[in-house]
Amino acid sequence: MGTYRVLTPAAARLAGGLYSDSEFDLSAIDSLRPRVAELGRSCTDPAWRHGGVILMLWSALAGFMQRHGLDITVGCASVSMHDGGHVAASLWRQLSQQHAAPDALWVKPRLPLPLAGLRNDLEVLPPALIKGYLKCGGKVLGPPAWDPGFGTADLPMMMNLADLPSAYRRRFLVS
C-alpha cells in the first residue's frame, strides 16, 4: 500500500550522508543531525492515497522515531518540471510566505532552480506529500533545487515532532 525510506543518523554515516546532502548544502542544520531522520522515496499506490493509509504510515514513522530518539525529519519534496518549472516557482513563493523555517535553518540548493526566469504568480495547490508535511507543522528550508535527471524541482522540507498539531500528537505519539 505505502512505504517510506527512512535514513537514521547512523545509517546516513554509513551511506556517506543523506540524499538531501546531494541536493542541498545542509550545513545550516548540522547541529541537528543527531536528531534527524531523512524521509525519502515515498511511494503509495494511487488507489490507497487517502487519509487512512497515510495516517498509518505517519503513525508508524512517529513510533519509529520515538524508539530511536529522533524528533526531526528532513527530506526533498519533488515537484514536476513538466511545465518548465513555473508551478514549482509559484509553489515556492507561496510556501516561503507562510511555511518558511527560520532563516538560521535555511539550506542552499547545489543547483538552484532558476527562479528569476520563471513565473511565480500561479495559484497552485501543494502536492499531497507537501500538503501532509504542512498539516503536520512542516516547514520549507529554502528555495528549490533543480534535479534535471529526474525532471523535478526539489523543496527542502523539515518537520519537528514538537510542532505537530495536537490532533496529530494524539494519533501519532506515544506518551
CATH number of the domain located at residue range(s) 2-172 in this protein: 3.40.630
State which amino acid sits at residue 75: G
Pairing of β 36-44 and β 72-80: parallel
pTM score, two decimals? 0.89
Tell me, what's the pLDDT at 38? 93
Spatial CB neighbours of 104, under 8 Å, sequence gap ≥ 6: 28
Main-chain dihedrals φ then ψ at residue 124, nearest 5 degrees: -125, 150
What distance in Å separates the CA atoms of residue 90 and residue 124, rounded to the nearest whole number? Answer: 7
pLDDT in tens, 49-83: 555 666 677 778 888 888 899 999 999 999 999 99
Domain borders along the chain are 2-172
Identify any residues that bridge with 43 across adjacent strands, giving them in sequence order: 3
pLDDT at 23 over 80: yes
* CB-CB contact of 136 with 167 (8 Å): no
